[in-house]
Structure 1
C-alpha cells in the first residue's frame, strides 16, 4: 500500500474513534504518568497524529497541548509504524535542527512506540504513540521499549473500550431517535386514521389471531378496551359481500396478489355502513406469515356518489330515468337480447294536449301533469320495465324481457287508459292523453338507433290515425295497428 493511502487510512481511523481534541481523561493521564515514572524521564505523552499537527491526549512535563507535525519525533513512529529511540537528538541528523531540540522543550532523549487500533478487516493501523522524552541524553535500554510497548497495549485497550462505548452510545441514541420517530409516526398515523375514518388490521396466519388499530374499533363501533372480538372482520359483512370478501382473501393467499374492494358493513351497534377494504400478504423469509390491510368507512362518500349518480341519471322534475340513463339501460338490454337471441320492446310516448295545459292553466299545472304521468308510468311498470322522461312531454319505456307481444299489448292498453288525465284550475279544464309507438328489437337487428327510429315512426303513424292510441312498427306496413 502506498504511503498516501496508508496515511489516508490512518486519518480515517483517527476520525472514527473521535478522540482528537477531546477533554482530558484520567485513565490516559495516569498511563502517561506511569510511563514517566517507570522510565524516570522528565516528560511523557500519549500523542495522536493529525494531518498537520500532533495533539497530546495526555502529557507530563513541559509539553504544549499540541505542536506542528513537521520535524517532530512521534510522526516518524506513526509513519514507519515501528518503535523509535533517540539517545541524543543533537547528534541525530533527522532531528538536530528540529525546533523542539534547538528550543523548548529542548528534547535530547526520545523513546516511543506506536499506538494502534484494529480495523474491521483485522488490519491494525497506527494513529499515535506512547512516548517518553527527556532534556538530557541517555543510552536507551531494551527495557525502555519493552515497558512502553506493554503500556501501549493498555493505551490501545483504553482507546478500544472508549470506541466501543462511543459506538454503544451512538447505537443507543439511534435507537432512542428511532423509538421517538416510531412514536411520532404512530401518533401521526392515528391522526390520519381519525381524519380519514380508516384503520389497519393484521391477521397472524399461524396464531390465527387478529390485531386492530384504534381506527378499526371506531369503524366497528366497539371500545378498544374490549379487544378484538372472536368473530373478527368477516361476520360484519352481510351477504353477498361476506362471500366476496372471503373469496378475495383466499385468492390473495393463493396468488400473492393484493386486493381492494368496497362492501356493505354492519357495525356492532347494528348500523349500516359502506367500507373499503384492502389486503395483502406479509412475508417473512419468503413465507406468508400474516394478512395486513386497511378498512375505511366510506359511507358518506358512497352516499354522495350515489346521490350524484342518481342526479346524473334522473330527471329532476319527474324523478324518472333521464334520456342518458334510458339509453344506457336500453343498450344493456339489447346486449342481453343479442346474447340470448331474445326480443325487447320499446315504447315511445308523446302527450297530446299538453301545450294546452301550459297555455290555459300555466306551467305549474303543466309540471304537475308531468309528475302525474310519471307516477302512472311507475305504477304500470313492474321491476323489469324502465320508464323514462326523454324531455318536454316525451316519455319512453323499456319493457321487461319477460313480456311477449301479448303481455306488451296488455301493458299498452292499460297505459293508454292511465294516461287520460284531466287537469282543471280556476274554472278552466284541459285534457291530456298519451299516444304510444311500439317497436321490437328483433325488427331493428338489436340496433338502438334503428329501434328508436322505428318506435318514433310508429308513434307518429298513431298520431296521424288518432291521438290517444298506439301502433306497433312493422316492416312494410303503414303502422296502423291500433292499441
Structure 2
C-alpha cells in the first residue's frame, strides 16, 4: 500500500469516528493529565492528525488548540505507526528547525505512541497519538513508552466506546425519525387541517364515497354541514383539467404510482382558483382500499408566477411583447406554416427621426412616442398579427397567416400612415415616421434567422430609397435583394 493510500485510509477512519473539532470531554482531559503526572513532564496531549494540521482533543501545558502538521512530532508517530522518543529535539535533524523547538513552547523532550482504532475488516489504523513533552531534555526510559502505551489503550477504549455510543445514537435517531414519519402519515388528516389553505381527502374505493377535511370544504367554498357532494366533485374542475385529473387517478389505480398536479377549480360560489392536488393509494393487507391526498389553494402564488412570466415576456415601457417573446411566437408560426401550407411574413419597423425627439424634446417625449407607436401597432395588428418591441426604436410584427400579399400591402400602407407622428413641445416640433422591411418565410426556407436578416436587408434598402416607406425582400436569380 502506498503512502497516499495509507494517508487516505487514516483520514477516512478519522472522519468516521467524528471526533475531530469536538468540544472538550472530561474523560480525555483526565487521561492527558494522568500522562503528564505519571511521566513528570510539563506538557501532554491526545492528538488527532488531520490532512494539514494536528488538533488536540485534550492537552495540558502551553499548547495551542491546534498547529500545522509540518515539522511536528506526532505525525511521525502516526505515519510510521510506531512509538517515538526524542531526548533533545535540538539535536535531532528532523525537528531541530521546527518553530515549536526554536520558539514557543520550546520543545526539547518528546515521547509519543500511536492511538489506533479498529476497522470493520479487523485492521487497526493509527489516527493520532498520546504523547508527553517537556522544555528540558531528558533521557527516555523504557517505562516512559510502557506507561504511554497502557494509557493509549485506555484512550482507544474511550474512542471506541464513544464511537459505539455515537452510532447507537444515530441508529436511535433514525428509528425515531421512522416512527415520527409513520405517526405523521397517520395524522395526515389532522395535520392538513392545521395547514393554511390546505385540506385532505379520502376516497373509499369499495364504497365509492369521499371524505373531506374542513380545509377542502373551505377551498370549495362549501359548508361542512352540507357534506361532501360526492356526485358533483369533478364538476368543480373545468376542462381540460377535469379530464387530466380523472386520467391521473385512473393511472394511479392501475399502477399504484402517486401523482401531483396543478389545476383550475371553480368554487361553489363561482370563484376561480388554482389548486395543487396530490394523490396516492392507501393499502390494507397489501390491497388498495382508498385514495388519499391533499389539495392546496395556490391561487396567489400562481398569479404571482403568471405576473412574473408576463414581465419576462413583455417590454416594460410599451407593454408589447419583447424580443425573446417575439422570437418564440415567430418560431411557433414557422413550425406550423408547412403543415398549413402557409407563408409567414415579418415586418421590421424602424422609427425615423426618433433620435431628434430625444435630443430636442427629452427622453420623456421619446418614451411617449414609443408608447404611441405601441398603441397604434396594437390597433392595426388585429386578426392574428403579433406586434413586439425589439429594443430602442425597433419594432416588429409577425403577420397573420390568413393575410395574402394584397392584404399585407393594405396593412403596410395603413401602418405607414399610422406611424407618422408629430410631437410639439417646448417650442419645438419633431416628426417621426416608420420605415418597414418585409420578408416572407418562403424565401428564407422557414429559417427564423434568415427571415429576420432578409427583413432587415429590406428595411435598410427602404431607408436608402426614402425613409417612411416600405420594401419587400425578394430573391432574383439566386441573388438576394430588397426591392
TM-score by length of 1: 0.58
Alpha-carbon shift at residue 478 of structure 1 (Å): 7.4
> Which residue of structure 2 lines up, in the alignment, with residue 385 of structure 1?
385
> The residue matched to 1:431 in structure 2 has which SS?
strand
> The residue matched to 1:435 in structure 2 has which SS?
strand
Matched, 1:230 2:230: yes
- Identify which range, 347-356 or 242-251, moves more after superposition: 242-251
Matched, 1:349 2:349: yes
Q: Distance in 1 between matches of 2:184 and 2:264?
A: 33
Residues 202 and 421 from structure 1, CA distance in 2 versus in 1: closer, same or farther, beyond 3 angstroms?
A: same
Residues 184 and 336 from structure 1, CA distance in 2 versus in 1: closer, same or farther, beyond 3 angstroms?
A: closer
Residues 182 and 475 from structure 1, CA distance in 2 versus in 1: closer, same or farther, beyond 3 angstroms?
A: closer
Matched, 1:193 2:190: no
Alpha-carbon shift at residue 376 of structure 1 (Å): 0.6
> The residue matched to 2:457 in structure 1 has which SS?
helix
> The residue matched to 1:343 in structure 2 has which SS?
coil
Alpha-carbon shift at residue 339 of structure 1 (Å): 4.4
Residues 248 and 182 from structure 1, CA distance in 2 versus in 1: closer, same or farther, beyond 3 angstroms?
A: closer
Stretches of structure 1 that go unaligned for 5 or more consecutive residues are 1-176
> Which residue of structure 1 lines up, in the alignment, with residue 252 of structure 2?
252
> The residue matched to 2:270 in structure 1 has which SS?
coil
TM-score by length of 2: 0.58
Alpha-carbon shift at residue 231 of structure 1 (Å): 3.9
* Contact 2:189/2:199 (<8 A) preserved: no
Q: Distance in 2 between matches of 1:286 and 1:431?
A: 80
Superposition pairs for residues 384-463 of structure 1, below 5 Å?
384-463=384-463
Matched, 1:375 2:404: no
> Which residue of structure 2 lines up, in the alignment, with residue 320 of structure 1?
320
Residues 325 and 421 from structure 1, CA distance in 2 versus in 1: closer, same or farther, beyond 3 angstroms?
A: same
Q: Distance in 1 between matches of 2:273 and 2:246?
A: 19
Alpha-carbon shift at residue 293 of structure 1 (Å): 2.0
Residues 238 and 186 from structure 1, CA distance in 2 versus in 1: closer, same or farther, beyond 3 angstroms?
A: closer
Please give the per-residue CA displacement for 1:138-167, whole angstroms capped at 9, x wherever unaligned: xxxxxxxxxxxxxxxxxxxxxxxxxxxxxx
> The residue matched to 1:307 in structure 2 has which SS?
helix
Alpha-carbon shift at residue 358 of structure 1 (Å): 1.2
* Contact 1:435/1:459 (<8 A) preserved: yes
Alpha-carbon shift at residue 227 of structure 1 (Å): 2.1
Residues 254 and 478 from structure 1, CA distance in 2 versus in 1: closer, same or farther, beyond 3 angstroms?
A: closer
Q: Distance in 2 between matches of 1:340 and 1:370?
A: 35
> Which residue of structure 1 lines up, in the alignment, with residue 468 of structure 2?
468
Please give the per-residue CA displacement for 1:288-346, whole angstroms capped at 9, x wherever unaligned: 33222221111011011001101111000000001111111111222222444532111
* Contact 2:274/2:302 (<8 A) preserved: yes
Q: Distance in 2 between matches of 1:186 and 1:351?
A: 62
Matched, 1:219 2:219: yes
Q: Quick check: which has more Rg, 1 or 2?
A: 1
* Contact 2:204/2:289 (<8 A) preserved: yes
* Contact 2:192/2:294 (<8 A) preserved: no
Superposition pairs for residues 114-193 of structure 1, below 5 Å?
185=187, 189-190=191-192, 193=195
Residues 432 and 259 from structure 1, CA distance in 2 versus in 1: closer, same or farther, beyond 3 angstroms?
A: same
Q: How many residues align?
A: 302
Residues 182 and 450 from structure 1, CA distance in 2 versus in 1: closer, same or farther, beyond 3 angstroms?
A: closer
* Contact 2:189/2:213 (<8 A) preserved: no
Residues 421 and 249 from structure 1, CA distance in 2 versus in 1: closer, same or farther, beyond 3 angstroms?
A: same
Stretches of structure 2 that go unaligned for 5 or more consecutive residues are 1-178
Matched, 1:358 2:358: yes
> Which residue of structure 2 lines up, in the alignment, with residue 290 of structure 1?
290
Q: Distance in 2 between matches of 1:184 and 1:202?
A: 13
Please give the per-residue CA displacement for 1:369-415, whole angstroms capped at 9, x wherever unaligned: 10000001111112522111011100001112222222222221211
> The residue matched to 2:222 in structure 1 has which SS?
coil
- Identify which range, 205-214 or 340-349, moves more after superposition: 340-349
Q: Distance in 1 between matches of 2:347 and 2:426?
A: 35
> The residue matched to 1:473 in structure 2 has which SS?
strand
Q: CA RMSD in A?
A: 2.6
* Contact 1:465/1:480 (<8 A) preserved: no
> Which residue of structure 2 lines up, in the alignment, with residue 96 of structure 1?
none
> Which residue of structure 2 lines up, in the alignment, with residue 15 of structure 1?
none
Matched, 1:271 2:274: no
* Contact 1:459/1:470 (<8 A) preserved: yes
Q: Distance in 2 between matches of 1:183 and 1:408?
A: 64
Residues 188 and 237 from structure 1, CA distance in 2 versus in 1: closer, same or farther, beyond 3 angstroms?
A: closer
> The residue matched to 1:239 in structure 2 has which SS?
coil
